Amino acid sequence: MKIAMIGTGYVGLVTGTCLADSGNEVTCVDIDQAKIERLEQGVIPIFEPGLSELVVRNAQAGRLRFTTRTASAVASAQLIFLAVGTPSAEDGSADLKYLWSAVESIAPHLAPDAVVVVKSTVPVGTNAAIFAKLAALTGRVCDVASNPEFLKEGAAINDFQYPDRVVVGVRSEHAETLLQELYGPYLRTDKPFLSMTPESAELTKYVANALLSTKISFINEMANLCERLKGDINDVRRGIGHDRRIGFQFLFPGVGYGGSCFPKDVRALANMARKVNLEPRMLLAVDEVNNAQKSVLIEKISTYFGEALPGRTIAIWGLAFKPRTDDIREAPALVLIDYLLEQGCRVIVHDPEAIENVKQQYGSRLIYCTQPMDALEGADALAINTEWGEFRNPNFDEMRRRMKQPVIFDGRNLYEPEQMRQHQFVYHSIGRIAVE
């Protein structure tokens, strides 16, 4: 099948590459000439495990191409995916300017039986608006489907190739048949192909992310309660997680969620609710709790050091909003960094993948280390923000030798309090009694 992928961001690049890997002819389009040239050279603009190898292999096989020429990519395509960014506007709504630009660029080149597929996360009603816009631009009916993505950063290729389900919103049997044929190779283990209206498909994406965000904010609020009442959130989590109605997924306390999806989608869904005169009380609470949770290490550090905090050296392990990515959008670590710099602290940071992105934002205001142990040299405390695997079993004796004071503020509960007591660390974590 011939496919045009408009947009080579995270979703577009992963989706286009994986579709090429199953035998389709995919042309990825972007307006950024420099980015296209790098992709043609095999230089991937994002960190996603396994993606670079997949891009190179399919490009060499001739199934995956990159171009800035929209016309040539779209003219012969049976499916044209729109995978451009929809960032948050100031009021929390989705900014669709890139989407409308993409719609206008493809309209003159669409084949009569082509299907436009909206992959971007868009507000409910956007599919219908694109349908009307294309009719006005072309003077004919153009088929528009919705196909929300459910890719986790750090596991996107596996998520695409082995999906829990595929959701499509369609108006015609032709669009449904094409998409079912396209996704057939990924559904051979009887995972469902869920066909619905475009409006329901658009909502499905937002509701899924809002519910997962709710679980995170809920367990974080309960963790804070555990600390006040001298409970242990890990015990409580086990106590509720074995209930089959609840489960363990997304019930790990920490310093809040970040990234390009959860914060943006919760706010966008709340904005949609307001537009139909429905007060989104739970969504607003989820966002409020998460924003507050990003300051939990700030509170612990400021309480511990008090007025002696200015001038201290604080090491930070983990800058990305989650492991296995270099994405720092709305990352909790940035909130902590901003606070420590305001307090006049010397801040030393390490992350396996996100250092370059942080360096672009902070420049020489931070000290950057490529090795985690090097970041601890002379540190008065270590703050952990991201649960990278290499942080889980460090050499604690070496950590003590390198640090000026053996103090850890663990925002991801990587270590057991008793373990920290045996290694003689002061240890503050989330939802558990501190080791002093």
Strand-pairing partners, residue 381, are: 314
Q: Are 181 and 3 in contact (CB under 8 A)?
A: no
197 in helix, strand or coil? Answer: coil
The C-alpha R_g of the chain, in whole angstroms, comes to 24
Structure tokens belonging to residue 27: 């042309």
The answer to whether the annotation marks 251 as part of a ligand binding site is yes
Please state, in angstroms and rounded to a whole number, the distance separating the CA atoms of residues 145 and 116. 6
The answer to whether the annotation marks 326 as part of a ligand binding site is no
Q: Are 335 and 295 in contact (CB under 8 A)?
A: yes
The answer to whether the annotation marks 322 as part of a ligand binding site is yes
The answer to whether the annotation marks 152 as part of a ligand binding site is yes
Polymer length of the chain: 436
State the catalytic residue, choosing from 18, 261, 345, 369: 261
Q: Is 369 a catalytic residue?
A: no
Please classify residue 379 by burial: count the beta carbons closer than 10 Å to its beta carbon, then call 0-12 exposed, 13-18 middle and 19+ buried: buried
The answer to whether the annotation marks 327 as part of a ligand binding site is no
Please state, in angstroms and rounded to a whole number, the distance separating the CA atoms of residues 385 and 319. 7
The answer to whether the annotation marks 425 as part of a ligand binding site is no
The answer to whether the annotation marks 254 as part of a ligand binding site is yes
The answer to whether the annotation marks 153 as part of a ligand binding site is yes
Comparing CA positions, the residue from 2, 66, 62 lying closest to residue 38 is 66
Q: Are 325 and 48 in contact (CB under 8 A)?
A: yes
Q: Are 19 and 179 in contact (CB under 8 A)?
A: no
Please state, in angstroms and rounded to a whole number, the distance separating the CA atoms of residues 67 and 59. 12
Please state, in angstroms and rounded to a whole number, the distance separating the CA atoms of residues 81 and 102. 10
The answer to whether the annotation marks 215 as part of a ligand binding site is no
Which residue reads 């990305």 in tokens? 320
Structure tokens belonging to residue 370: 């490529």
Strand-pairing partners, residue 82, are: 6, 118
- C-alpha torsion 155→156→160→161, nearest 10: -50
The answer to whether the annotation marks 150 as part of a ligand binding site is yes
The answer to whether the annotation marks 329 as part of a ligand binding site is yes
The answer to whether the annotation marks 288 as part of a ligand binding site is no
Please state, in angstroms and rounded to a whole number, the distance separating the CA atoms of residues 134 and 77. 16
The answer to whether the annotation marks 82 as part of a ligand binding site is no
Q: How far, rounded to the nearest angstrom, does the alpha carbon of residue 59 sit from its chain's CA centroid?
A: 26
Structure tokens belonging to residue 100: 């409308």
Comparing CA positions, the residue from 419, 421, 381 lying closest to residue 399 is 381
Which active-site residues does the annotation give?
261
Binding residues for NAD(+), as ranges, are 30, 35, 86, 121, 153, 264, 329
From the annotation, which residues make up the binding site for substrate?
150-153, 205, 250-254, 258, 322
Binding residues: 30, 35, 86, 121, 150-153, 205, 250-254, 258, 264, 322, 329
